[in-house]
Amino acid sequence: MALKTDKFAITRYWLSTAISELPGHPDLFTKAKLSAARKAFLAGANQLTAIKNWLSRAEVIEVDYGRATLTDVGKLMAAQDERAEKAWTWWLFHLHLCANGDAFPYSTFYWRFEPEGKTWWTFEGIVDELGAHQDSEEELAKESVKSYFEGVEQTFRPGHPLHSLGLVEQREPVGETGRKLTRRKLTCPADVVVAYTSLLYHSVFFSGMATVEARLLLERGMGGALGMRDADIRDSFVRISQHSRLSGFVQYTQAANLDSLQFVTSGLPALKKIRAFAYETGDIRWP
């Protein structure tokens, strides 16, 4: 499966509307409620499909028999940031997309293109690269990859909250108005973001292992999701192991030729605790 964006990017207003309206109207995305949904989201039918896909792939909502309910992630967003203005809200949205194999091409873009990008890529070049690195049993045609990526590419533009995380930059070549070049950027997220990402990737990819080699987590694309060099992530692991609260979730051990993370507390209970803790501290800010 993939993130079918219908060429539309998720917006702050759409996320805010979803976490505000869906608890009282879980049938808002059904055909019977099309008119009400269009009024609530200020969106057309195709946009509503894209909104539902963005929200479900980011694990903000669960859709069952047409009814959409907030997940634990969505409920926490609704309780802590109903207007979807906080950086942590959008880090959560982004990280859950990155860890979701069904969020192609979003997840693949952040895994495939390294944070310290030296090369500026054209839209067409990125589409070709994504098409060649699909992680799915059912390969999408190039036109579908292009269509899905158009919505993702819009999140790289100023004014979109995912752009404001500082993970991607764009520029226009001199004399080529309207043509954009794109590359990844390095960021410096708070240690709690790194800790949460390690717990999330552990839960998704290595849940049966109490201790995981750091390289295995990094090979799964943590650096790409966080916009960090592997060495900087390891430095963050050291600080996390010394933190009064975060060390209760993750402990980092360095040996001669091996470094690993022990997940003291893991799984959904740990993810819920650290999500709430990150909102409580207010340490996660926009770049």
C-alpha span between 209 and 262 (Å, rounded): 9
Residue 118, pLDDT above cutoff 90: no
Backbone angles phi, psi at 56, to 5 degrees: -75, -40
pLDDT tens across 185-213, in order? Answer: 999 999 999 999 999 999 999 998 999 99
pLDDT at residue 137 in the model:
66
Q: What average pLDDT does the chain have? A: 95
Q: pLDDT grade, residue 214 (50/70/90)?
A: very high
C-alpha span between 275 and 200 (Å, rounded): 11
- Specify the 3-state DSSP secondary structure of 16: helix
Helix ranges, the chain (H): 12-21, 34-41, 45-57, 72-80, 87-98, 106-112, 123-132, 142-154, 191-205, 214-219, 222-226, 230-242, 267-281
pTM of the model: 0.96
**% of the chain at pLDDT higher than 90:** 89
Residue 179, pLDDT above cutoff 90: no
249 CB-contact burial (10 Å; exposed 0-12 / middle 13-18 / buried 19+): buried
Q: Which domains does the chain have, with CATH numbers?
A: 12-85 (1.10.10.10), 101-184 (no CATH), 191-281 (1.10.10)
pLDDT tens across 39-64, in order? Answer: 999 999 999 999 999 999 999 999 99
pLDDT tens across 246-271, in order? Answer: 999 999 999 878 999 999 999 999 99
Dihedral sign for Cα atoms in the order 7, 11, 17, 18:
positive
**Which range is least confidently modeled, 57-66, 84-93, 169-178, 228-237?**
169-178
